[in-house]
Each structure stands twice: as C-alpha cells, then as structure tokens.
Amino acid sequence: MKPLLRALRLLHPLCFALAPVLSLYALNRAEVEAHELLRPLGLLALGSALLLVLLALLRRREPERVALALSLFLFAFFSYELWEPELDRFYKGVFSYVYAPLLDYTTTVRAGVLFWPGVCGLLVLVLWGRYEPQRTPLPLWVIGGGYLAPALYTLLRPVPPVAFPETPAPAATAKPAPVASSTLPDLYCIVLDAYGRQDQLQALYGFDNTPFLTALEQRGFQVLRKSHANYLQTALCVASILNLDYLPSEPQQEGLDQAARWIQNSRLVARMRARGYQIVDIPSDFSPTALLTADRRLTELGEHLSDRSPFERLLLARTPLRYTLYDDHPAYDRHRAQILASLSHIPEAARLPGPKFVFAHVLAPHPPFVLDSAGGAIYPDKAQYSIGDATDFGKNNTDSYRTGYIGQLQAVNTKVLEALDSLKKNSARPAVIVVLGDHGSRMQTDWRSRERTNVQEGFSNLQAVFVPGGAPYLTDDLTPINTFRLLLTHVYGESLPRLPDRSYYSTLKNPLKFEEVTAKLH
C-alpha cells in the first residue's frame, strides 16, 4: 500500500502534461486527426522527462518536491496565454517610466521578461522552501484532475449519432438493373474549396472567368451556369454530397463532430465500395473532410511534411513559445505544397488499377492566399498562419481578399486544367469527373448573421461535369446533392429521384441549425 501511495504522490504531473493537449484536441477533434497528437505528446513527454531529470539532480532525495515543481511548471507553461496580457500591462506600466525604448519589443517578449524570472523564482521556492511537500499531492490531484477530467469526458462519452432520414423513392420509379462494375466508369469528385460562380466573380471581383469555363467545355465538360451550393460550410457541403441527401437539423449541437462522422460513414462511399470500387482519398489540410476509411490515401508532401501541423500551432499559441509563430512562412509554404500536391495526386490516382471512386479536396482558392496568378509563391500579410475565411479572414480586408482570391483562383485554373489533361491521359478506364466548388467565395459572409451575409456570393458555386457520351439530364440549376443523385441513377444503375434544390445558411457556432435561403437565391 505504501509504494502505491508514494507513487500517487509523484504522478500528478501526468495530469498537467496530458490535459493541455487532450483538452485542445477535445475542442477541435472534428478538425484534427488523432495521429496529429503523436508528435506533441511525444515531445511533451521528452521535454518533461528532461526537466524531471534536471530537477531531480537538484533535489535528489526529495522526489515529492521535484514532482510538485514539475506540475507547477507545466501549469504555468500551458496557461501562459492567460498570463500574457496582465504581464504585458505591468511591463509597460513599469518601463514606460524607466526606459521607453524597451517598449518596442513584441508583447510576448515583454511578457516573457517577467514570466521566466517569475517561474524560475517559483521553482526555487518549491525546491528549497520550508514546507512539507508530502502534504501537497491531494490538492494537486484535485486541480490536475479537474483540468484533465472535462477533456476525458468529452473524448470518452458516447455521442448518439444523428441519423439521416431515408428518402423514399416514388412508387412509380423503377430501379434500373445493376450494371457490372467492370463496365462502369471511374468516378472523380474534385472539390475546389470556395470556388465561386462566373457571374459573382464578375460582379464582386471584376474578374471574367469565361476562358477557364470555355477550356472546360472544350474538354467535354458541361458547366452548370446557375448552380447553387446546398450549404455554406465545407464540412456540411461534403457531408451532404457524400450522403446524397440534406442533413438533419440538430439546432442544439455545436461544432462539426457530427458532420465529420457523416463523412466517414457516407452512403456514396458505401454504394461505390459495394460495387467493388476502390476508394481513394486525396485530402487537404482540413481534417473533417478526410476519408479516413479510404482504401488508398494519397498524402505525400515530400520535404514539407516535417512542418508544424495546425494543431501544433494552436498548442504553441497557448505557451511562451508562441513567439515562434510570428514568422510563419514555413506554415504557408506547407499549405502551398499541400494545394499543389493535392492537384498533382489527381492524375496519379488515374493510374491505380480497377474501378475507383476518387475524392479530392483542394483547399483553394479558399484563403490563405499563397499563390499568385502565375502560380508563384506569395505570403499573406498575417504573420500567424490561419485558414480563416469570411469574418474570420479579418475586418476591413476586402481589397486584400479580392486581390488574393482572384490571383489564387487563376493559379488553380491552370493547375486544374493540367491535372484534368493528365487524368484523361493516364486513365485506362472511362471516367465521370465532377469539378465543383463546395460553396462560393465568402468575402461578404458573416459567420454570426445571415442578414449580414451576401448569400448570392456564398452559395453561387462552380459546377462542371464530364460524362462520357454527355449528360442532358443535368440542368444548369442543379445543386451538388442532385448532381450526384442523377449521376448514380443514369450512369451507375441506382434509383435516386431528384430532390428539390435547396440551400441553407448556418452559423459557425451552431452549424446544424439551418435557415433556408433558397428563395433569396432566385
């Protein structure tokens, strides 16, 4: 019993080490893949072990003091984001009277001047102060457990799924006879994030995208000139496309966890897999749209793979190491590499043997804007990496959004045409190819208010479809849900009637609380 109690007195640093990572993951798990925790947890374990050894060398015979010092250090380190404003205010209040040039440093540097000596002083008191360290474990377990418990509860509690209602087929609709997969074409769904429709690009951005649309038509694509998106958020758009139906409303639910689950367990993937199709995923940096259950995932980034992930940047932003984010060119370099790699993987997928369904999500022309019109590298004015769009892009940035968006769109146009040409060249089988914007551009979208959102811009998306032999049943005003329903019916032998074409706005906070805006789009 005594060894167990002694171990408990020494293990409370585990709570303070695990809680920051797991709590951040719990808040963002719809947007973070589980494997992204491995590196921060590994580095945290290594760093904690090294600090533990250092502290143990200072106080060899009092492990309780060492454990207490480590817990306090971890707590202070990962709660730095809360201390920084107050430390900076105190710093400016003191040095504005002492030596004004010392105010020219960044906030993190100014706060760090006070933070690090304070932490070192605290460690000295803990290691050499006069008190009985054996009495401290219980309060630390209470604090550490309270820190860790909410994250564990969020991650471990069962979440009842919100099921799709089955859409009954009309009685008069006869199901076509199944067609053997050996005679069916491959299916490509290429999502170009936030790619807007020609009329809105002309009206809001002064840009004529006709040459690109003409180039698609010359390659046999049918451009749907009056297309509208079904939703305004990427995860919702992808979930509805892959499930061939509108999403159930769940007004009280926050976050994108449910949408991510729908994407992982989608009807379209299940139908194609049942026909013997290989499922191929070409993911972006936006984790909710990744098909983690795909048979093949084309994710190679080469030399850029070692850069910090978005999750790691979020974690660093909570610590004194946030100053390393001020020059985030490597993050933008990685993002650019991801865009280009995603586009280059599309024709690579065509070389895979057998029938296949290829889903590619390209996070462009969506911000951040890292490509100029010629495809060259550029860097946003924002020092800290962000993929924020709409009101998350920043206030009063209309001009930079307009310029950056059109430049990146032109670069994407060139790369998409190259990818499509290579895809057809590499394909041993015929292919149905859908190139679409999940939604339109969002320069005038407000995530908190439908009234302050330009729904014409946000819901007007690109849709272009290539079907061997043509597809006269695809009308100009189709929304993406119906595009795929009709393709499955007319090409792949399913029986999915066309649904009413509808569009729904929702806020970021309550993404499944839908407000229909269909009437405002016509």
Domain containing 458 — which CATH number? Answer: 3.40.720.10
The verdict on residue 172 lying in a domain is no
Question: What's residue 161's pLDDT?
Answer: 57
- Shared domain check, 95 and 229: no
Query: Can you list the residues of the chain whose pLDDT is less than 50?
Result: 1, 99-100, 167-178, 180, 302-306
d(CA 443, CA 95): 42
Tell me whether residue 175 is in a domain. Answer: no
Q: Report the pLDDT value the prediction gives residue 441, as an integer from 0 to 100.
A: 96
| Residue 396, pLDDT score | 54
Sheet holding 296-297, edge to edge: 222-223, 463-466, 431-436, 186-192, 356-362, 278-282, 296-297
- The verdict on 488 and 421 lying in the same domain is yes
Same domain, 97 and 195: no
Residue 171 lies in a domain: no
99 domain-assigned: yes
Same domain, 107 and 197: no
**Separation of alpha carbons 161 and 258, rounded Å:** 7
Tell me the residue type at 186: D
Does residue 371 belong to any structural domain of this protein?
A: yes
pLDDT at 164: 57
Residues 364 and 417 in one domain: yes
Of 120, 139, 156, which residue constitutes the final position of a domain?
156
Model confidence over 481-515: pLDDT tens digits?
Answer: 999 999 999 999 899 999 999 999 999 888 999 99
> Which amino acid, 307?
D
Q: End of a domain among 109, 140, 156? A: 156
Q: How far apart are the first and last CA of the chain?
A: 74
Global pTM reads 0.77
Same domain, residue pair 386 and 504: yes
Q: Tokens standing for 202?
A: 């002309």
Asked if 476 and 357 sit in the same domain, the reply is yes
pLDDT value, residue 259? 87
List strand residue ranges (DSSP E) for 229-286, in order.
278-282
Q: What is the domain range of residue 280?
A: 183-521
Total domains, the chain: 2
Within a domain: residue 49?
yes
Q: Which of 156, 173, 195 is the last residue of a domain?
A: 156
Secondary structure of 52-65 as H, E, C letters:
HHHHHHHCCCCHHH
Same domain, 196 and 150: no
Residue 164 lies in a domain: no
Q: What is the DSSP letter of 196?
A: B
Q: How far apart are CA 333 and CA 325, in angstroms?
A: 14
DSSP state of 511: T
In angstroms, the CA 191 to CA 438 distance is 6
Same domain, 461 and 511: yes
What is the reported pLDDT for 105? 55
- Rounded to 5°, angle at Cα 173 from 171 and 174: 110
Q: Do 320 and 357 share a domain, yes or no? A: yes
Phi-psi region of 61 (alpha: psi -120 to 50; beta: other; left: phi over 0): alpha
Residue 3 is predicted with a pLDDT of 57
At 143 the pLDDT is 72
Tell me: do 207 and 59 sit in the same domain. Answer: no
Same domain for 197 and 122, yes or no, is: no
**CA distances from residue 467 to 124, 151, 190, 433 in whole angstroms, order as listed:** 72, 48, 14, 7
Residue 377 in domain: yes
